[in-house]
Structure 1
Amino acid sequence: MVNEKTLEAESGSQELSAAARRTTEELLQKMERRLSSFLASERRVWGAADERAGGAVDAVAGLVAAGGKRIRPAFCITGYLAAGGDPGNPGIVAAAAAVEMLHASGLIHDDIIDASSHRRGLPTVHAKHSALHESRAWQGESRRFGEGVALLVGDLALVYSDQLMSQAPPSVIPVWSKLRSEVMIGQYMDMTAAAEFSVDPDLSRWIALIKSGHYTIHRPLVVGASAAGRADLAPAFEKYGEAVGEAFQLRDDLLDAFGDSADTGKPAGLDFSQHKMTLLLGWAMQRDERIHQLITEPGHTPDEVRRRLVDTGVLDDVEKHISALVEQGCRAIDDVPIDPVWRSELTRMANRVAYRTA
């Protein structure tokens, strides 16, 4: 029989977890308002100068307002609170907003690179402006106009991310600088590996870590901890973030290959059409050379590739690897000096990002 003290302890733990989650959610809501007010202010400034200038801000604001999972600011805020940061400090709201704005910048550029037509269920920035150019019979080439606009709008979001981060505690600057450079190098390496399209799972894993693992989980956590003055948590957060970040990217690979675009908000099979050398494809091509030919030869269909992937048995192996990575990440914070409620919350978040369906 469970004694009353045990029940009381469990109840108390649940109440603490619920309170921690509420605090995180309140800060995320403040971040949403900060993003909205920041972009509205920019729209007024540039719209007053010239209505066309306001269109650049509108493009950023449209993507931000379209939603998204807000994974990166959630980990930034959690890292801050786990490190004992004061939830009343507006600096953490600015830092979380900056991390999300950097993500918006990356998505806008990524959509050009991947020739993606939709993001979050809406036309991508380059696709929307290409269509606008064509509908109005403007001068020049519609595709180049749309992509040029998206390049500039993505850069604008990058500038905005720095403006927001400048309002966070100065202690975040070293990790923030590293985060931004990693995103750019990771994207470059991703493009290069796609062009070469040689089977190299080790390279695929390295790209996944630098392009997604660090950028999505590890660095946002450390930004938060640094904002709270707890740089000592960085090593444990790195081990956690790399493992859970790799699991996140593997889930992303599976969703691209087998997910429903109605759920993900973007076209399915982009990794196939853009020859992305993901870890999933790298492992599969080691077992079946025909997959390489299917992807690189004209006329293949995503369904053909999917059937071959299933036949290799690699999907089961990827799921097992994701499970092992989540366990590894959670073990990394077993002894980290934070309140147990935040250890539990980080465990919950690891499972959430690794086993999401969109």
Structure 2
Amino acid sequence: MLGVRPIRGEAAEGADVPLTALDAVGAVGTVLEEVLDAGLCRARAVDPVFARDVAGRVAAFVRRGGKRLRTAFTWCGWRAAGGAGDATAVLRTGAALELLQACALIHDDVMDGSPLRRGAPALHVDLARMHRAARMTGTPASFATAAAVLAGDLALAWADDLLAETALTSPHGQPLCREWRAMRGEMVAGQYRDLHAQATGSLGVDEALTIAELKSARYTVARPLALGASLAGAGTTALDALRAAGRCAGLAFQLRDDLLGAFGDPALTGKPVGEDLRTGKPTCLLAVAVRLAETSADEEAAAVLAPGATARADDTVERMRAALERTGARSLVESKITDLAGASLRHFAASGAGSAVRQEFAALVERACGVAPDRIGEDT
């Protein structure tokens, strides 16, 4: 068992103040350090070259952090369902989610050809540099792609190992595993639908929403909430309410990500701006803009936003950004984010969660969706 101290989950008289979602995010870092150290030790025992080139890079990538929203939402799900006492299983589940996220990001960057992640070169870019520096044979791109796929696979293996170990020591191991299996399948399905839509040039709003729900809404919020609630033995009513809350918050999160991808600051997002537009990624934002352009007979906007077989030049990306503004797509998506965030809070309240965890969840939704405090509330 990893060395995570028991944590009080209820503020009884004379008890310590309960750990918050923010504290859980910090605490999961300690769990991750132990998991990564153990994984690196196993990798070195298998092969030192593999440990240095692959396992070492996976560990460094995970240690660079990220928002760790999934851990925070897992904590909120546990607390909403009455979770209290020893939080070890919750933190270990959060750590498993962070490892799964590492797998998803490493593979996603390969599929999208993204050069940056978390403010540093994407893993496949770093591996290509290694190939060139070592003067290996073959092409750096082919080597880096293959090695990055293996790196993502290793992160997934570490995630599955940790979740399985956690389930074996929990009285709620079976429901925990069911949520985990469902989440992994949805994540892969969403990734494939994303690839399929790009390859077929499909850009419908319904398809974009399907991809967003599979790839982001369930994976980022709904399933983490349910994973945490499962560890507290939540019933069907509470789980349904939490999944509904997670779906709304997750869709809002993805819509915000779409906006940041088109208009964000790379210094803040840690990834290039405009890449989704450059590659014609089938985002909800782009699909909404195309529909609005067609409805308003804005032929110029419809033409520049239409799916294409090749990457767009910088000047075309700028014209696409202007079309997103002119058609009203940016404003409409902003409004939808606020609506979804409010709906998420109402569903979360219906789970029976106490006022303290409702406030924590509201703060997380605000952080994830970028909605100003005066625009979000349970009465939205």
Matched, 1:202 2:206: yes
The structure where helix makes up a greater share of residues is 1
Unaligned runs of 5+ in 2: 1-10, 294-300, 373-380
* Residue 307 (structure 1) aligns with: 322
**Equivalent-residue separation in structure 1 for 2:346 and 2:46 (angstroms):** 54
Which aligned pairs between 1:202-241 and structure 2 lie closer than 5 A?
Answer: 202-232=206-236, 233-241=238-246
Q: Per-residue displacement from partner, 1:278-301 (whole Å, max 9, x unpaired)? A: 110001112131233485566532
Please identify runs of 4+ aligned residues in structure 1 that moved more than 2 A.
Answer: 22-30, 44-51, 291-301, 333-336
* Residue 262 (structure 1) aligns with: 267
* Residue 147 (structure 2) aligns with: 149
- Worse overlay, 310-319 or 46-55: 46-55
- Worse overlay, 123-132 or 88-97: 88-97
Q: Is the 8 A contact 2:103 2:152 kept in 1?
A: yes
Which aligned pairs between 1:4-19 and structure 2 lie closer than 5 A?
Answer: 19=17
**Cα distance, 1:144–1:352 mapped onto 2, change above 3 Å:** same
Given candidates 172, 176, 186, the residue that maps to 1:172 is: 176
Which aligned pairs between 1:311-350 and structure 2 lie closer than 5 A?
Answer: 311-350=326-365
Amino acid at match of 1:250: L
Matched, 1:253 2:258: yes
Amino acid at match of 1:162: D
Q: Is the 8 A contact 1:106 1:154 kept in 2?
A: yes
Q: Is the 8 A contact 1:81 1:87 kept in 2?
A: no
Matched, 1:118 2:116: yes
Corresponding residue SS for 2:353: coil
**Cα distance, 1:52–1:306 mapped onto 2, change above 3 Å:** same
Matched, 1:352 2:350: no
**Equivalent-residue separation in structure 2 for 1:121 and 1:40 (angstroms):** 23
**Cα distance, 1:222–1:299 mapped onto 2, change above 3 Å:** closer
Amino acid at match of 2:229: A
**Equivalent-residue separation in structure 2 for 1:46 and 1:333 (angstroms):** 42
Which aligned pairs between 1:81-92 and structure 2 lie closer than 5 A?
Answer: 81-92=79-90
* Residue 44 (structure 1) aligns with: 41
**Equivalent-residue separation in structure 2 for 1:304 and 1:194 (angstroms):** 20
**Equivalent-residue separation in structure 1 for 2:249 and 2:24 (angstroms):** 23
**Cα distance, 1:137–1:79 mapped onto 2, change above 3 Å:** same
Q: Is the 8 A contact 2:21 2:360 kept in 1?
A: no
Which aligned pairs between 1:56-135 and structure 2 lie closer than 5 A?
Answer: 56-135=54-133
**Equivalent-residue separation in structure 1 for 2:47 and 2:212 (angstroms):** 41
Q: Is the 8 A contact 1:186 1:207 kept in 2?
A: yes
**Cα distance, 1:307–1:296 mapped onto 2, change above 3 Å:** farther
Cα displacement (A) at 1:29:
2.5
* Residue 187 (structure 2) aligns with: 183
**Equivalent-residue separation in structure 1 for 2:272 and 2:370 (angstroms):** 20
Amino acid at match of 1:110: D
Percent of pairs identical after alignment? Answer: 34
**Equivalent-residue separation in structure 2 for 1:253 and 1:214 (angstroms):** 16
Amino acid at match of 2:279: Q
Given candidates 11, 20, 24, the residue that maps to 1:23 is: 20
* Residue 6 (structure 1) aligns with: none
Q: Per-residue displacement from partner, 1:25-68 (whole Å, max 9, x unpaired)? A: 33333311111111112222322443212122111111111120
Q: Per-residue displacement from partner, 1:130-159 (whole Å, max 9, x unpaired)? A: 111012210111101101110001000001
**Cα distance, 1:298–1:273 mapped onto 2, change above 3 Å:** closer
The number of residues matched between the two structures is 340
Q: Given the two structures, how large is their TM-score scaled by the length of structure 1?
A: 0.90
Cα displacement (A) at 1:273:
2.5
**Cα distance, 1:296–1:311 mapped onto 2, change above 3 Å:** farther
**Equivalent-residue separation in structure 2 for 1:49 and 1:198 (angstroms):** 45
**Equivalent-residue separation in structure 2 for 1:298 and 1:210 (angstroms):** 25
Q: Per-residue displacement from partner, 1:153-181 (whole Å, max 9, x unpaired)? A: 10000011111111323130101100000
Q: Is the 8 A contact 2:208 2:287 kept in 1?
A: yes
Given candidates 268, 284, 288, the residue that maps to 1:283 is: 288
Corresponding residue SS for 1:337: coil
**Equivalent-residue separation in structure 1 for 2:371 and 2:271 (angstroms):** 15
Q: Given the two structures, how large is their TM-score scaled by the length of structure 2?
A: 0.85
**Equivalent-residue separation in structure 1 for 2:244 and 2:87 (angstroms):** 27
